Amino acid sequence: MPGGFSNFTEDRVLEHIFIEDYVAPDNIYVGLCTADPTDVGTGATCFELPDEDNYARVETTPNDWILSGSTAGILYNKNAIEFNMPSGDWGPVTHFTILDSGTYGEGNMIVYGPLDPSPVELLQGSIPRFSAYTMVIMLG
């Protein structure tokens, strides 16, 4: 399930290279979306699951991610990323998103990508998770 960069991130990369250093957040957060957030999605407009039934973004640190050792421009989740257990049905999810804020409805969307297979039906009592090395972020 390769993911791509949002317009926000593409601008930060150019800004970092040509203008001034962009300061990355200390931690990034993984969210789940019910539709394709597209390049213009934000923390408020990325079609994130509703803020109910125990849903919350999952905090990750730089140690949770690793660059591919064999192919340039690919990043993986080094560790499993596990969400809270739903206290009600969350319904179908089609995409993941990575954001710079853990606060629901806020922040900038850094990366997004489709789930494979999609959609994934998340029901009460399940444990939504990405096993290690299953989130793939690719440049270009």
Query: Is a pLDDT exceeding 90 seen at residue 2?
Result: no
Q: Which of 31, 77, 66, 65 is nearest to 51 (CA)?
A: 31
Q: Are 109 and 6 in contact (CB under 8 A)?
A: yes
pLDDT in tens, 61-77: 989 999 887 887 888 99
6: which 2 tokens?
């949002």
41: which 2 tokens?
């999605």
Q: What pTM does this model have?
A: 0.89
